[in-house]
Structure 1
Amino acid sequence: MLFSLFFTIFASVCSKNKTAHLLFYYKIHNGLREISVIGGGSWATALVKILAENKIRVYWYLRRQLQVEAITREGRNPDYINFAKLDTDYIEASTDLDDVLSKCKHLLFVVPSAHLPAVCQQIDPQQMEGKIIISSIKGTVGPDNLLPSAYLAKSFSALQVNQAVIAGPCHAEEIAAGKKTYMTVCAGDQVLRTALGNALASNYIQICESQDLLGVEYAAIFKNVVGLVCGMAKGMNYGDNFIAVLVANAIHELETLLHALGLDGARIGSSSYLGDLFVTAYSQHSRNRTFGVLIGQGYNVEQTKDTMSMVAEGYTATKGLHDMAAARGLNLPILNTAYRILYNYMPVKTEFKLLERSMI
């Protein structure tokens, strides 16, 4: 009661910007208790599972009514990691995007990067005023190759203090199975980082906090390209020795990219960087690696897309990062190889012979 009175009096004498910042602190000082989630894929399902287990009320937007009905009735997403049991006491699933967005202040976007513009176009920017926007999307967005957080900020005039990012290293399948997982929560504001971290932490989820939103987002996008190329190598029966050298060179390319972007302070050896890259490069759960394996086995891009039931973010990320690197005059052989194979339709075996010569 005293805190509320103090806030009311103090806010009345503050400038508009300071009042907005104080309001943000007032809203979350007791922690995150409810959240709206936009997206119905495997990663969104895994995050919803964790949040509901932690007694966070989740308002969940999904495109398909059949998904909503199955989740409400059975506590399972029929399309993605359907072996994961969801606590429906804390989940309200809906196909009504406006209604889901109106439920609470915290919004978590977990859609493929290629679909984000279409989702944002359905949202009235006025409806987003004062919202806390969290993203867990691993691909560049739109013709300007924006980071997901930057695209959301631009679309809805979001303040940086009201933004956060959730990153890996983690796969949805292992979260669904309750296996020990490390997750990175990024936000410029300590209070938001703590609130979001507490909402996700559990006996099998270890939270790592970071203020490095840009670096972690770029690393999360780049590692999907690396996963694709490692998968191509696997599909062509290259061995572990070659793939180890491929990953080592990928680390160098990531450092080069981050330096060109002015992100020299990135802790490249941390789990949110190399941990995320390694799990995508080597894990059988990596959809990007699986996409690459099919390409390496001789499937073309369209055949590979048709074969897979889930989106491989590395496909669109390859073009976004390639365009960005080319504009800065960077020579990134692994990224260039992925681009020529996926977008210039060059023979994968020929491109890998060229790649072999460029690696050190």
Structure 2
Amino acid sequence: MSNKVSVLVAGSWGTALASVLAMNHNNVVLWSRNFEQVKEINEFHTNSKYLPGITLASNITATTSMKAAVENSSAVILVAPSSAMREVTSELKNYWNKDMLCVHATKGFETESLKRMSTVIAEELDCSEGDIVVLSGPSHAEEVIRRCPTTVVVASLNKSAVERAQELFMNSYFRVYTNRDMIGVELAGALKNIIALGAGMSDGLGFGDNAKAALMTRGLAEISRIGVELGANPLTFSGLAGIGDLVVTATSQHSRNWRAGSLIGKGNKLDDVLESMGMVVEGIRTTAAAHSLSIQHGVQMPITDQIYNVLFKEMDARVAVETLMGRDPKTEMENIRLETWEQWHT
């Protein structure tokens, strides 16, 4: 089997995963539409916009040609922003074949259709959604690229595919677990970005650790509720893709979602925040998608509702917190389903 692996696209997370794959003796080809970025990677072995100060391995190259990137690859790793996933995958299908392992590591929804990324990819590649592998977990690109110990999870309904993905990525600093709950892993990775935005807003408002701990805990409860409604195993939200990724995304200044939320909490307008960051903040689109899904499925998501109001209805972040604190009294363990995920899926 070829040791060529393709990574689409060459953002911070795509480049960090390319570095993991290169460490494992693969010839890695990064694809980007940006000619100057490709030239920089090939000539200087850097990707300074996304990972400044880092030198990339010599077995990482880049190209603007999708054909050159994908042909004769054993695996394709999709790390396109959620807003561009359908377009990128549509182009990929001209060169992809079903013997290639397909892994995606994008944490978001297609906002217009409310579809998960694996659904979008499967539709464009005309393959089974169950054969796609999802990679998720607590993993800042800035730390992975420096080979800090990192643990993630790969999930798929296809046992052979998920084991291939585990073998492809796992090494001395990048530990990979497997999980068969693809829906849960995918939903957890996307939905926690909403709560990370809220945690950033709380910090921007100067509300302290008590408020942030409560926000994260109750946030996990509501993303678990909608996740279970959509077919996820509730236990997945207690694992690496759930609470693990939530903790790292909601508490670290590496997190784009936390940084965006913090700036909004300090009074900055959303458009100004996004312009100043210059990179995709997936939690913005995910908040809109989750808000629509909660209405569609009749699932209460009060934190998501208030973050939606701040982002899209110009509500002041402080007023949103006061609204949450003033809600009617509740029991902590409300409306928990007693059936197990295994029983639902027999």
Q: Could you tell me the TM-score, scaled by structure 2's length?
A: 0.90
Q: Distance in 2 between matches of 1:356 and 1:187?
A: 39
> What is the Cα deviation at residue 77 of structure 1?
0.8
Q: How does 1:1-360 map to 2 (within 5 A)?
A: 33-88=3-58, 90-123=59-92, 125-130=93-98, 131-160=100-129, 162-264=131-233, 266-358=235-327
8 Å CA contact 1:61–1:96 kept in 2: the answer is yes
For 1:7, the equivalent position in structure 2 comes to none
User: Equivalent residue of 2:135, what SS?
Assistant: strand
8 Å CA contact 1:83–1:176 kept in 2: the answer is no
> What is the Cα deviation at residue 105 of structure 1?
4.0
Structure having the higher Rg: 1
Q: Distance in 1 between matches of 2:158 and 2:275?
A: 42
Q: Distance in 2 between matches of 1:294 and 1:98?
A: 40
8 Å CA contact 2:41–2:61 kept in 1: the answer is no
Q: Distance in 2 between matches of 1:142 and 1:293?
A: 23
What fraction of aligned residue pairs are identical, expressed as a percent?
A: 27
> What is the Cα deviation at residue 59 of structure 1?
1.8
8 Å CA contact 1:170–1:181 kept in 2: the answer is yes
**After TM superposition, what 4+ stretches of structure 1 lie above 4 angstroms from structure 2?**
none
Q: Distance in 1 between matches of 2:7 and 2:41?
A: 14
> What is the Cα deviation at residue 265 of structure 1?
5.0
> What is the Cα deviation at residue 73 of structure 1?
1.7
Q: Partner amino acid for 1:152? A: I
8 Å CA contact 1:49–1:85 kept in 2: the answer is no
8 Å CA contact 2:103–2:165 kept in 1: the answer is no
User: Equivalent residue of 1:165, what SS?
Assistant: strand
Cα distance per residue 1:12-71 (max 9 Å; x no partner): xxxxxxxxxxxxxxx6xxxx7221111111100100011111111112101211111211
8 Å CA contact 2:150–2:174 kept in 1: the answer is yes
Number of residue-to-residue matches in the alignment:
328
Q: Structure 1 residues 76 and 232 mapped into 2: Cα distance closer, same or farther (>3 Å)?
A: same
Q: Partner amino acid for 2:248? A: V
Cα distance per residue 1:321-353 (max 9 Å; x no partner): 111111011111111011111111222221111
Q: Distance in 1 between matches of 2:14 and 2:35?
A: 16
Q: Could you tell me the TM-score, scaled by structure 1's length?
A: 0.87
Q: Distance in 1 between matches of 2:134 and 2:228?
A: 21
Cα distance per residue 1:256-313 (max 9 Å; x no partner): 1122113245433212211011111111111100000011011111001111022110
> What is the Cα deviation at residue 156 of structure 1?
1.5
8 Å CA contact 2:181–2:236 kept in 1: the answer is no
Q: Distance in 2 between matches of 1:285 and 1:56?
A: 27
Q: Distance in 1 between matches of 2:228 and 2:75?
A: 33
8 Å CA contact 1:36–1:103 kept in 2: the answer is no
